[in-house]
Amino acid sequence: MNNPDFSSKSSHNSLSQTQEPNPPQNLQTQISVPIIGYHRSPLGQKFGAPRQPNLVALPSHIEFVPPFDTKDAFVGIENYSHLWVFWQFHHNKAQANFRPQVRPPRLGGNEKLGVFATRSMYRPSALGLSVVALEGVQVIDNKVVLNITGADFIDGTPIIDIKPYLPYADSVPAAVSGEISTPAVKSVRFDERAKTACQTLGIDENTQQIIADLIAQDPRPAYRQHETDIVSTMRYKAVDVDFMMNKCGEMVVEHIRVVK
């Protein structure tokens, strides 16, 4: 008996001469997945949240819900420095129909791309995927809490799953990303009124640096990032941070006030 020829040429020829198989019957078009926990972050609104993970070392944590909060489910996780987090865009507006194209903010909202060629929040499954740094594991009231940094999702975000990040398999040094370049980081300055507010409200230097790092990413929509001397407001925990870009391109924190 002759051995079969598995060369690409013969496979192509044989496939081209073979009738296409019938599609599977009763295809499943939806799935239901459990929420295993929730994200707790100083950022409760989309405005101000980093556009990608690990742009800002923002501290936050994940709280798990029963039965996924058991210590047994996390044995060994402390051996990893980073985690993949699967989460849901829970603030999305419901879409009646699938939209195959979106307007990415990084392109100023003027150019359309296929949704699967972007990280747009408006996706068929409304799922996000982020790499975060694992800073520590706590057990509080016999429930596991993961302390993380670098999340780009906000407070109250439902968590669908977590997996260890494996550098040997997940890192792709030769990867290309089209025309997307590393976003520019702007300089940030607190004016005297903002400095006084920090002292009055007890905002320490570490928190001030985190606020500065968030504003340095310029959270304003791309079509507004050329505007100067117009105040924007970012909410961080229980305070509103007023900032603007001056004519020199510097981001100036003008005032920090308690949320009313």
- Domain count along the chain: 2
Separation between Cα atoms, residue 125 and residue 167, nearest integer Å: 27
At 3 the pLDDT is 55
Q: Residue 179's pLDDT band (boundaries 50, 70, 90)?
A: low
pTM confidence score:
0.85
Q: Residue 14's pLDDT band (boundaries 50, 70, 90)?
A: very low
Question: In terms of pLDDT, which residue wins out, 30 or 53?
Answer: 53
Say whether both 62 and 130 belong to one domain: yes
Res 118 pLDDT > 70:
yes
Say whether both 68 and 135 belong to one domain: yes
Q: Cite the DSSP H helix spans in the chain.
A: 8-16, 167-170, 192-201, 205-216
At 187 the pLDDT is 97
Domain span at residue 245 reads 188-258
Of all residues in the chain, the percent with pLDDT exceeding 70 is: 89
Res 139 pLDDT > 50:
yes
Whether 81 maps to a domain, the answer reads yes
Say whether both 162 and 192 belong to one domain: no
Say whether both 197 and 229 belong to one domain: yes
Separation between Cα atoms, residue 217 and residue 180, nearest integer Å: 15
CATH number at 213 reads: 3.30.2310.20
Last residue of a domain, one of 102, 135, 170: 170
Say whether both 242 and 158 belong to one domain: no
Whether 246 maps to a domain, the answer reads yes
Last residue of a domain, one of 140, 170, 200: 170
For 151-163, the pLDDT digits (tens) are 999 999 999 999 9
For 18-43, the pLDDT digits (tens) are 566 666 777 878 889 999 999 999 99
Q: Identify the DSSP state of 173.
A: T
Question: In terms of pLDDT, which residue wins out, 11 or 97?
Answer: 97
At 23 the pLDDT is 64
Say whether both 86 and 206 belong to one domain: no
Least confident range of 66-75, 99-108, 139-148: 99-108
